[in-house]
Structure 1
């Protein structure tokens, strides 16, 4: 049984839904320089905004101008919580500004007030792949420790402004992508060359892990100041959990799976939850000639800035093997070897509900702190039929099977206190920049070329999820 106060809801990110990319004092973020892509074409970062190029975040689905309508629909579904992110460059347009942008602060005041009107608890991410472009251009992002201070200033500003409106916070979205080359730009703010594909960038592993160390410091400093401003604040980490299985029972496969699981899934959380670098990372650093510079107070800062809860995204699982020649599959920015026992989505993401229960058990056993699933969903092509309906039974089936496994984990005494499905409404896909890869309960009339009225239409899953929330997960049919 789900706890009585379980937080059911949905999630979005500012760069994928807000639009209004240069309105009301906001300046460019890194997302505003990302072109559209597809399953066969990587998104590209352009150093200049080109008039003939489609940048999906510029309009997105115009949540900035439709937030009242959208939040009313979330309330109709019965949302207890709404996960969203603040666009850093809407608050500090250049990132290094001394004073914040009042128009940006007021926008989120209005959003949070609208949530409060319906009794919806906001869950707010401070940095969701939207570092101000100026910090990349002038400072090379978190390679420069000055950016740690800029982030703390930003965090302190919003904590103080919304201390009576927001209780739940996340510092960095999917921070563990910083352990991989693809995390250079979106997590760390590193751009080695202009006009490059973000999924296949140039990479300097020493620079990347030093920047990640600085992100850990920024997160820890934010957690500490949050607790000083409001002791009731709950601040979490956010990990993209890439659940992995050894493909075979060969010991080599098991050892490789363990090594990758530690580096990709466990390392960042070990630092953010426990406040220290884990033992196994020393060997990884030695093998890769990585030497992290710790300044005098770094160990103390990390220890003082441990998070209160662990949040994560879970979409799929994959397999790991030392053998070559096996069929591969795609995933949430990271693919793997195909699991012969699983089906996959149209985008090649393997569907594995039991993997979610395995993951919940693993994480809770490791950390013994409350857990929150902040992203879980199915990207698919949704079409309106002749009656004006969107019958997304495939999405209902996906979500139902995962909620069943969540319930089993709770029955096993895992402390899971919330679930925000990705995504509350259709929005721009982060990985491909597409609109046709839809996740929401609410259909947005817009195509990959930017055409459409932006009209909101409820999908079949809308009323299904409304019943799920209304029965606290007891009725899933």
Structure 2
């Protein structure tokens, strides 16, 4: 076998509560439930999160399909807005408790390791309305209470925990670039949100360690979407621009998670621009002592960067864009459906970066995938989507991941985004990512060609 992976390698896929479960029986709305209520036209075909792929009702059948495809692991999330009745006391909603217990128990029964995430862009709306959401350190403390409650309820069976999925997207979408509610453009507030999310993650890790949940094989990490920043050229200005993009979009969370401190250069730049976060010595000390046991890395596309070529428009105040421009590299390969560059070599670059610069911490690919619009046009007469493009995409990325592992990077698994076509925020079902196709009207689920290929991959532990 040309590409054989380490023994006990995680093979599986990832989804999230708000994107798969549907909104059935939830005691609270999250930010997306509320946004869809007030602005349904912001969502592709006006499709909201009410039903999604119906995991709330079909988790047994869905998990059985995943097992059939050879999954030995699966990441999803616990919705704060489903599990908790009262945020101040962290009192538990019985229906939510029963649901998550059932999902965990069914996964274990099938021999699937559950990886459980505590936040996937789904802040309860009431905490935004009442306190300002992630701008508030009070919400940070409420999140730590929620995390502690989850550990108390489920850590006897769940041994792999994640504090946040892609926290930089909360910053970008909600406070810089208007693609998630509350759609604010304010660099100073964005920076504070970034700091508060780091603090929240550290407080959850402290609860995990203080409660002894790291005993008997328990571990806690964070999932970061790393977009390697490649400069247009080796000229100093381009290199400095790419370095800033890396500092802000990657290392603001990566360095704190693994090393326990913010990059000094980033802190210096934010201070010079008068947008540095409000922090205390006690908080920074807690962050320094509350680092992750492992990392999940989501990789989809690189970031191409060049030095600014036109004067920055200061009318909206400071934004990260003051320090760089995005660069459209001639000849780049594109997923035209999603508008993202396809660059598998970055998988290797990420692996080596973690090995060299982040203590070779254990990590896994927690998301990688290819979103395609209109997949029904690739459906054969038997109703199966022939998605060889997805299989080829996965193969290319795994080849580079394998190279990184061969050179000593401590990678423990690969998860596709996503097992079953899921609801993707304002894109809804525009682009499909899954091994399993979903008919949104009938909820019929059909394995795609890539799913059968993945089954062989998992059986052989390579290809």
TM-score by length of 1: 0.86
**Distance apart, 1:296 and its partner CA:** 4.8
CA distance in 2, matches of 1:80, 1:144: 38
Partner in structure 1 of residue 332 of structure 2? 342
- Over 3 Å counting, the alpha-carbon distance change for 1:229 and 1:48 in structure 2 is farther
* Aligned residue number for residue 427 of structure 1: 422
Aligned to 1:353: 344
Question: Retained in 1: the 8 A contact 2:15–2:76?
Answer: yes
Instruction: Trace 1:280-359 onto structure 2 (pairs within 5 A).
Output: 280-322=265-307, 324=309, 336-345=326-335, 346-359=337-350
Quote the offset at 1:82 in angstroms.
Answer: 0.2
Runs of at least 4 residues of structure 1 off by over 4 A?
Answer: 47-50
Q: Which of 435, 442, 459 pairs up with 2:436?
A: 442
Q: Contact (CA 8 Å) 1:93, 1:132: kept in 2 or not?
A: no
Report SS of the residue matched to 1:413: coil
Q: 1:246 to 1:90 in 2, by over 3 A?
A: same
Structure 2 CA distance for partners of 1:300 and 1:354, relative to 1, 3 Å: same
- 1:18 pairs with 17, 21, 29, which one? 21
Q: How many residues align?
A: 436
Shift of 1:239: 1.2
2:243 to 246, 252, 258: 258
> Structure 1 CA distance, aligned partners of 2:450 and 2:6?
23
Q: Tell whether 2:123 aligns with 1:131.
A: yes
Q: Higher mean Cα deviation, 124-133 or 264-273? A: 264-273
- Say whether the 8 Å CA contact 2:175–2:186 is kept in structure 1: no
Shift of 1:306: 0.7
Asked whether the equivalents of residues 176 and 190 of structure 2 are also in contact (C-alpha less than 8 Å), the reply is no
Cα-to-partner distance string for 1:85-105 (whole Å, 9 max, x where unaligned): 111100124644541212101
Displacement of 1:144 in angstroms is: 1.9
State the shift of 1:120 in Å. 0.5
Give the alignment's TM-score, normalised by structure 2: 0.89
CA distance in 2: counterparts of 1:118 and 1:398, whole angstroms: 28
Q: Deviations over 1:250-293 (max 9, x none)?
A: 22111111111111111211112111222112222123212433
Partner of residue 40, structure 1 = none
Secondary structure of the 1:293 match is coil
Paired residues of 2:306 and 2:326 also in contact (CA < 8 A): no
- What SS class does the counterpart of residue 461 from structure 1 fall into? helix
Which position in structure 1 is the counterpart of 2:133?
Answer: 141
Segments of structure 1 that go 5 or more residues without pairing to the other structure are: 36-44, 187-195, 326-334, 447-451
- CA drift of 1:55 comes to 4.8
Matched residue SS, 1:307: coil
Other-structure match for 2:403: 408
Gaps (5+ residues) in structure 2?
311-324
Partner of residue 41, structure 1: none
Partner of 2:297: helix, strand, or coil? strand
- Tell whether the 8 Å contact from 2:12 to 2:415 is kept in structure 1 after alignment: yes
Q: Which has the higher helix share?
A: 2
For 1:386 and 1:55, locate their aligned partners in 2 and report how far apart those are by CA, in whole Å.
Answer: 28
The answer to whether the 8 A contact 2:40-2:46 is kept is no
1:31 — aligned with what?
32
Matched, 1:9 2:12: yes
**Structure 1 partner of 2:443:** 454
Residue 204 of structure 1 is matched in structure 2 by 186
Equivalent residue, structure 2, for 1:229:
212
Secondary structure at the aligned position of 1:229 is classed as: coil
Note if 1:393 corresponds to 2:381.
no
Q: State the distance in 1 between where 2:96 and 2:176 align.
A: 24
SS of structure 1 residue aligned to 2:455: helix
Once residues 282 and 224 of structure 1 are traced to their aligned partners in structure 2, the CA distance between those partners, rounded to angstroms, is 24
Distance 1:229 1:100, change over 3 A: farther
Return the offset for 1:323: 5.9
- Please give the alpha-carbon distance, in whole angstroms, between the structure 2 residues aligned to 1:49 and 1:152: 34
SS of equivalent to 2:13: strand
Distance in 2, Cα, partners of 1:28 & 1:401: 40
Partners of 1:202 and 1:31 in 2: how far apart? Answer: 15
Q: Distance in 2 between matches of 1:442 and 1:350?
A: 24
